[in-house]
């Protein structure tokens, strides 16, 4: 039966562990996997801009011996020119997998329900699973473990934050989330993460105090204050989020060797200072690189092994 990747919540802890193990092998030995997806094609549908997601998926398919094609918003005009269901059913006759970056998470679910090939969420307003998987791979690569690691996410309780919460809960990593009042992750996501955490030992803290969140943390993570589609709110958000900037001063409360993470693109001078972005603690470009390796593992699992 075909498998999709729509939310980390849908993956078991074992599936996540297997993906991380395969990613490490792919990163170590590129040549060994050069023909694994020979003859396969991946379609990428974008309703929003992208650098990392688009390039890493396209390069990943190429490195695995397959092909990819990128469909810009005006080409497919999803849901306007044709229904999502009909796009999904048509593409399923041509390609072996579909990546979709969209506004409403429901579009991912509708695409997955109608497609007969695997569908991968390349970012929705609710989640960004490929990013969070690359992130936990990066943490494990740097710190050699996830259990007993505390990641502090400081900023908007957005799609990236939701996926990090589920990833932490599933893997036993601890996570503290600090957001301004009204910008915390939804109660539903927190409740569901806490339920999952009960079986893995992950500790989850939700706070409005960034200093409290980063205290003793080994990893500090942030993302833009206004996500794609919220650009008109940026001025309002700049004043609401001003105390949530990742600065050297805030990091003084974290572990001395703290890893600084950001999914990118970063708005330097807003959610993160230049000084921190360019410091020796920053692993943001390792994260970006690991998008390639983790997505190659995802593609192998979904396009080859689960079909
Ligand atoms: N982090 C991330 O998804 O980057 P892009 O928006 O450039 O794809
Ligand atoms: N939260 C950001 C992530 C970008 C990769 C957004 O949705 O725009």
Are the beta carbons of 125 and 195 closer than 8 angstroms? no
Minimum CA distance residue for ligand 2 atom 6: 227
Q: In the chain, which ranges are continuous DSSP H helix?
A: 13-28, 52-63, 73-76, 84-91, 105-114, 129-143, 159-171, 187-200, 210-214, 234-240, 248-251, 274-277, 284-299
Please name the residue that has the structure tokens 């379609």. Answer: 43
Query: What does the alpha-carbon distance between residue 194 and residue 297 come to, in Å, rounded to a whole number?
Result: 27
Residue 37's alpha-carbon distances to 60, 296, 305, in angstroms, are 10, 10, 11
Minimum CA distance residue for ligand 1 atom 2: 52
Please choose from 120, 291, 292 the residue to mutate so as to test ligand 1's pocket, defined by most ligand atoms within 8 A of CB.
291
> What local confidence, expressed as pLDDT, does residue 306 receive?
66
> What local confidence, expressed as pLDDT, does residue 305 receive?
78
Residue stretches of the chain with pLDDT short of 70: 306-307
> What local confidence, expressed as pLDDT, does residue 294 receive?
98
> What local confidence, expressed as pLDDT, does residue 215 receive?
98
> What local confidence, expressed as pLDDT, does residue 185 receive?
98
- Residue 158 CA to ligand 1 centre (angstroms): 14
- Residues 236-282: tens digit of each pLDDT: 999 999 999 999 999 999 999 999 999 999 999 999 999 999 999 99
Establish whether residue 158 lines the binding site of ligand 2, counting it when its CB lies within 6 angstroms of any ligand atom.
yes
- Residue 260 CA to ligand 2 centre (angstroms): 17
Please choose from 46, 47, 50 the residue to mutate so as to test ligand 1's pocket, defined by most ligand atoms within 8 A of CB.
50
Task: Give residue ranges with CB within 6 A of ligand 1.
Answer: 50-53, 123, 131, 263-265
> Is 52 designated active site?
no
DSSP assignment of 90-106, as one string? HHTTT-SEEEEE-SSHH
In sequence order, the β-bridge partners of residue 204 are 175
**Does the N-terminal peptide bond of residue 265 adopt cis geometry, omega within 30 degrees of 0?**
yes
Query: Strand 119-121 relative to strand 97-101: parallel, antiparallel, unpaired?
Result: parallel
In order of their start, the domains of the chain are 8-128+290-304 (3.40.50.1370), 131-287 (3.40.50.1370)
Residue 112's alpha-carbon distances to 42, 77, 81, 165, 189, in angstroms, are 14, 18, 19, 23, 21
Residue 291's alpha-carbon distances to 52, 55, 89, 236, in angstroms, are 7, 10, 28, 31
Q: Which of 101, 237, 262, 293 is catalytic?
A: 101
> What local confidence, expressed as pLDDT, does residue 307 receive?
57
Entry pTM:
0.98
> Is 131 designated active site?
yes
Write down the mean pLDDT value for the chain.
Answer: 97
Q: Which of 47, 223, 237, 287 is catalytic?
A: 223
Distance from the first to the final alpha carbon of the chain? 6
């Amino acid at each position: 039966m075909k498998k999709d990747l729509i939310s980390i919540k849908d993956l078991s802890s074992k599936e996540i562990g297997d993906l991380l193990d395969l990613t490490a092998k792919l990163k170590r030995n590129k040549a060994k996997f050069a023909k694994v997806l020979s003859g396969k094609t991946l379609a990428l549908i974008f309703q929003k801009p992208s650098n990392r997601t688009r390039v890493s998926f396209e390069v990943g398919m190429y490195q695995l011996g397959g092909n990819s094609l990128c469909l810009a918003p005006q080409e497919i005009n999803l849901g306007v020119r044709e229904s999502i269901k009909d796009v999904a059913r048509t593409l399923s006759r041509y390609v072996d997998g579909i990546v979709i970056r969209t506004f409403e998470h429901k579009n991912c679910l509708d695409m997955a329900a109608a497609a007969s090939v695997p569908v991968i969420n390349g970012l929705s307003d609710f989640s960004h699973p490929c990013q969070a998987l690359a992130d936990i791979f990066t943490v494990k690569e740097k710190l050699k473990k996830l259990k007993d690691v505390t990641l502090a996410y400081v900023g908007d309780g957005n799609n990236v934050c939701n996926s990090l919460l589920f990833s932490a809960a599933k893997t036993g990593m601890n996570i503290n989330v600090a957001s301004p009042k009204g910008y915390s992750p939804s109660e539903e996501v927190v409740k569901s993460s806490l339920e999952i955490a009960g079986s893995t030992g992950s500790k989850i803290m939700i706070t409005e105090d960034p200093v409290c969140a980063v205290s003793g943390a080994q990893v500090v993570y942030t993302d833009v204050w206004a996500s794609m589609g919220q650009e008109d709110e940026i001025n309002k958000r700049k004043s609401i989020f001003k105390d949530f900037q990742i600065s050297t001063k805030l990091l003084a409360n974290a572990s001395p060797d703290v890893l600084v993470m950001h999914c990118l693109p970063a708005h330097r001078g807003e959610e993160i200072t230049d000084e921190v972005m360019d410091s020796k603690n920053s692993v943001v470009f390792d994260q970006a690189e690991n998008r390639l390796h983790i997505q190659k593992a995802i593609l192998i699992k979904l396009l080859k092994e689960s079909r």
